[in-house]
A and B are shown apart, each in its own frame.
Chain A
Amino acid sequence: MIMETLLKEWYDKINKVKSVEALEEIRISVFGKKGVLAAEFAKMKDATGEEKSKIAKDLNTHKNSLMSELSAKKITLQTAELKKAMQAEAIDVSMFSAQSEIGALHPVMETMDKIVEYFCAMNFEVKTGNMIEDDFNNFEALNLPKYHPARDMQDTFYFKDEMLLRTHTSPVQIRTMMAQKPPIRMIAPGAVFRRDYDITHTPMFHQVEGLLVDDESKVSFANLKYILEDFLKYMFGDVEVRFRPSFFPFTEPSAEVDISCVFCKGEGCRVCSQTGWLEVLGCGIVDPNVFKAVKYNNVSGYAFGLGVERFAMLIHQIGDLRSLFEGDIKLLEQFQ
């Protein structure tokens, strides 16, 4: 029974211990070669028979129970210590709100990418071209005869050698038609130039124009409607699309295309001048004079063109056109 009291003392010690190190010391004192249990087991050699086996049994029971007490305590202590250690590493996470260091693409260029992506998926080729053009490709071949009002000095940048800065990407279409045989299905994205500089005009802006040419009587206005309706829904989501007859020298019949206002959902607001509609595209069936200029016979085709800045401004609700050409980081970082 001495053993009972003796061991009781160690149960208390395990219970009260405060650190993993002190617990280790207790383990050595109890289970070590020179420990309490070893000493108790040593005493057994003086005992005999039944008594010996009883002592052995008691001792083993205590050994197991001390052992489980010890390991349970160890886990408790380790957990507490780890918690304390982590507490010491505590930081104020609210001070570390994330700040990105990456840049961003220009909204106009990114919009142009998105437009090009659509038409590539629809099997259109991408064609670029030079910004400096001649009269034939920019005007004459597009059924804009010399006296047409759109050719006024007011609108076009001319060089001293009678070359000019392209006023639309249509000359790319002319050059493609001259270089390739029909059928043709292409888009021409790029910068274009007009002599206009005010709140709603910049002397340079971007266009994407499209052209499809195939055999005579194959391409109809209904085909043009189909692709443009699909394209505008891809760009602007679920909008209504409206076609209005219009006039362009290089198409006949021609139409302007409106979408229901993305700002007011067609209710009427400042952006759409209370009309509920936004004009986004011009299109039409290619005028026979254009085909005549590139010496195509027995073909039919459609063409369309759009201003990329206008698309970007509508999609991203950007109010000031000129801010797009200032490299303004405060504007650009919103597109990270």
Chain B
Amino acid sequence: MIVTRSWLNEWIDLSAVTTEDLAKKLNSIGLEVDRIHSYNIAKKIIVGKVLECEKHPDADKLNVCKVDIGTSIRQIVCGASNVRAGLDVVVATIGAVMPSGVVIKPVKLRGVESEGMICSATEIGLEDAHDGILELDSSIGVYELGQEVCTIDALNDDLIEIELTANRGDCLSIRGIARDLSAAYDKPLIETLINEDEDKRVGIGRILSLSHETQLDVNLRYRAVDIKELTIPLIVKLRLAQIEESRSTDIESLMLYVTHSSGVILRAYKYEFFSSDGESIAKIELKKDENSYASIYSSVRAEKASTIGIIQEDVSKAKDEERTVLIEASYIPPDIISKKMQESKIESGPMYYRTSRGSEPELNQGLDFCLNMIETYSSSLVYGGTIELCDSYEDKIITVTKKEIEEIIGAKIDRVRITKILRNLGFDTNKSSQDNFVITVPRFRHDITHKQDIVEEIVRLVGIDNIASKPFVFAESSKLQDDYFAYKKRSIYRHKAAQSGFFENVAFVFDEKKVLLECGFETTNEELELINPIVNTLDTLRPTLMTGLLKAASHNVKNGINSVKLFEVGSIFSPTREESLKMAFIFSGDKEKDTLLNAGKPRSIDFAHFTQKISDIIGEFELKEHETKHNLSHTYQCASVIQNDEIIGELFRLHPSVQESYDLESTYLCELDFIKLPYGLKTAKASSKYQSSIRDLSIIVPKTMKYEEVKSVIEKNATKELIRFYPVDKYSDKTLGKNMSLSIRFVLQSNEKTLEEEDITSTMETILKSLNEELKVGLR
């Protein structure tokens, strides 16, 4: 909602208030100031009158003008097509500094002296109100020749843009904002007096009749005018440019101006639309249309003229012709119209925003203002009286006690003050007794329905900054629950991942269905799918974090990052849209940064290094050969991750062709079920005080044999002294043929004693023997 100081001044006297104070006040009463713009017109730009205007002898498009600037008469060359003798214009005189930075100097244009410049609106820093030079008129107030334009308030104005909240339809007009300010400043609202000389007018009843089928919840009021010599005054053009709205015809521009000023929804109809040639009375019919919206019809044509509060049909719109025009003011309660739109949506016009948020129900405020303007700025003939239709409306009454008000606010507020605030806002409190307020809500306040709304009015006018803060005393002791532990666990794993070199990724939970299906993932079932995705590439819920990590990795590689390490903890969705939490990692490209340590040639990430990194974060785990359901993985480098005999996720090298399609170097991925990651209490085992011993065994095994097999045989046959064993080397050469040498390190320790050589030997022999018997493998 855009207002200007001079516009507001027509309803409330703000002459003693600075724009800065005004903005502060608006903010404090809940009308948030979004933007302030001052039209500071420069000095030495003054009002002049064009006395003579003749064609330039040497230039077709230029005119040589004699301009009276109060103190003297100047010769000015002007190129605007609308310049003509008799116009009051804006003249930039010698020495004036224009907003563009240009300083006005005497010049010769094609051999003719020019002492100044006749200006357009944009040349002096105003909005683009009309083509060519500004044509001043009385609508901007009284001015004198030679007067500096910066002293004319209507031009040297301040614009304030207010970000209105959805509930304040009553503030969608200049008058509405002024009404709120009148309560805030405790100053009266200036109401325009309409001079009614009914006697001289022809009554509207002689040319128009209105019929309606049933009681519809609308208010309608019509007046009629014979339009003659209507011109749109400068102030209206200027202000419509300031609110950045425009209409194609003068009559519609005027309706828009009145609506923005008064908040009343106005429409101008062609009289002929409702009349037939033979009859002298035009007939308007109010009835429900095929979607049961309250609508206006021409009885004669049996054609719709408009849908109340929604849109006007083009055929019924008044044009800029000197004909009879019907002006309609309408009101429909916002809840009725929004509910209707929810049920069956139809196309809406530019006024729907206002009607759905609540337009001004006091129809005369707009209608009188409008006809007053028409009479002032044209020689039109206005018909006497109105034709109207009113709905039945019952006053909303809310009761609230002083104690209730004070408890919600948390501060004492004086009874007299409460009464004054409410009265200034247009609430009727006459039925109140001592500390019990009985409040009649004015009809324009659609948003006020219960006592909390009343409290809100008091809070905003008292000012929240004037309420002292108070700590809340809480008796109950809060409990830390499961959700907190889950949050904490997440935080711990995220910190570990970051410490281990991974950067945290946050991706949208949306992904591209087509790509996911190509990658072999199961996506959300069709009947549960999103109806209105934001873009095609985010058209479903993600079933994995890995595709998001691949996209991010690819993005980083394009940015010149050679070593990409990313992780994410986030929600994924099953085909039945069940949400679960995953933690995923990607490691792509160089193992480390290029430094002196690796002579600037870091090696690529490999399986061993990647598993080591993941283990740094989630602790020890086992890997078992695994086939993925999707096809992101390398066929022969793919494992399930096992902790405590449970599969918690998968870890694999990226398939070379996927790698290529994402423009990546060697890449490894791991995705884990977050809920299965260990968290909680850990039990400490008694640690042995005795020395541990290490033995390495190098056995010859077929290359095709899995370490898993070797491992299970050792585990089955080990004594309790064997506390750990792990592969440390593998080696193959020609002499070994289809075999390879596998070195395994054994750590032996006892809780009871330092192990003797013979204890160790016997354990190792048992292991060797069982390997020999069960797998037919032995020492090198």
Contacts and interface: CB of A to CB of B under 8 A. Distances in A.
A177 interface: no
The prevalent SS among residues of A at the interface is mixed
Contact of B531 (A108, A159, A221): A159
Contacts of A255: 459, 464
Contacts of B450: 252, 288
Contacts of A226: 469-472
A276 to B, nearest CB: 11
A288 B479 CA distance: 26
B53 interface: no
A266 to B, nearest CB: 13
Contacts of B502: 103
Interface stretch (A26-34, A64-72, A328-336): A328-336
Nearest to B461: A245
Contacts of B408: 220-221, 253, 285, 300
Of residues A146, A204, A274, which shows the largest number of chain B Cβ atoms within 10 Å of its Cβ? Answer: A204
A196 B533 CA distance: 10
Q: Quick one: which of B481, B487, B497, B561 has the most chain A CB within 10 A?
A: B487
Interface in A208-224: 212, 214, 217, 219-223
A183 B475 CA distance: 9
Given A185-B474, A220-B408, A226-B470, A244 B30 contact: yes
B559 A330 contact: yes
Given A103-B502, A103-B565, A131-B571, A252 B453 contact: yes
A160 B527 contact: yes
Nearest to B339: A147
Nearest to B479: A125
Contacts of A113: 491
Contacts of B779: none
Interface string A131-163: 110000000000000111110010001111101
B478 A116 contact: no
A334 B472 CA distance: 39
B464 A225 contact: yes
Contact of A158 (B475, B526, B532): B532
A199 interface: no
Interface string B468-512: 111110111111110110110001001101111111111111100
Interface residues of A, number: 85
B55 to A, nearest CB: 47
Interface stretch (B165-173, B321-329, B725-733): B165-173
B552 to A, nearest CB: 3
Interface in B189-230: none
B486 A149 contact: no
A227 interface: yes
Interface in A86-108: 95-96, 99, 101-106, 108
A288 B450 CA distance: 9
Given A185-B474, A222-B410, A243-B464, A103 B497 contact: yes
A143 B497 CA distance: 42
Interface string B707-721: 000000000000000
The SS class assigned to the B binding surface is mixed
A191 B570 CA distance: 10
B161 to A, nearest CB: 10
A60 interface: no
**Most A CB atoms within 10 A — which of B527, B531, B551?**
B531
B456 A253 contact: yes
Interface string A280-311: 00000101100000000000100000000000
A203 B467 CA distance: 37
A274 B36 CA distance: 9
B452 A102 contact: no
Contacts of A329: 503, 556, 559, 561, 564, 566
A19 interface: no
Contact of A128 (B487, B535, B549, B559): B487
Among B450, B475, B500, B508, the one with the most A-chain Cβ atoms within 10 Å of its Cβ is B508
Contacts of A146: 339, 342
B351 to A, nearest CB: 15
B459 A220 contact: no
B768 to A, nearest CB: 41
Residue of B168, B410, B465, B494 most packed against chain A (CB within 10 A): B410
A109 B577 contact: no
A222 B500 contact: no
Contacts of B467: 221-222, 225
A11 interface: no
B472 A221 contact: no
Interface string B20-32: 0000000111101
A332 B505 CA distance: 9
Nearest to B508: A204
A132 B577 contact: yes
A214 B472 CA distance: 10
A236 interface: no
Nearest to A150: B166
Nearest to B484: A126
Contacts of A254: 456
A234 interface: no
A124 B478 contact: yes
A130 interface: yes
Given A109-B506, A287-B452, A244 B464 contact: yes
A204 B538 CA distance: 11
Contacts of B527: 160-161
A158 B565 contact: no
Interface in B431-454: 447, 450, 452-453
B530 A108 contact: no
A246 interface: yes
A247 interface: yes
B33 interface: yes
B593 interface: yes
A325 interface: yes
A63 interface: no
B279 interface: no
Nearest to B494: A105
A195 interface: yes
B460 interface: yes
Given A101-B592, A161-B527, A329-B561, A220 B506 contact: no
A275 B37 CA distance: 12
A330 B559 CA distance: 8
Contacts of A161: 527-528
Contact of B579 (A130, A183, A202): A130
B300 interface: no
B459 A332 contact: no
Interface in B3-58: 27-30, 32-36
A189 interface: yes
Nearest to A324: B506
Contacts of B335: 147
Contacts of A128: 483, 486-487
Contacts of B533: 157
A220 B30 contact: no
B452 to A, nearest CB: 4
Contacts of B553: 327
A208 to B, nearest CB: 11
A273 interface: yes
A157 B483 contact: no
A223 B342 contact: no
Contact of A222 (B409, B456, B487, B528): B409
Interface in B514-532: 526-532
B723 interface: no
Contact of A103 (B471, B501, B571): B501
10 contacts: A101-B593, A105-B504, A109-B504, A223-B471, A252-B453, A274-B36, A327-B506, A327-B566, A332-B503, A333-B503
Interface of A: 95-96, 99, 101-106, 108-109, 113, 116, 120, 123-128, 130-132, 146-150, 153, 157-161, 163, 183, 185, 189, 191, 193, 195-197, 202-204, 212, 214, 217, 219-223, 225-227, 229, 242-247, 252-256, 273-275, 285, 287-288, 300, 324-330, 332-333
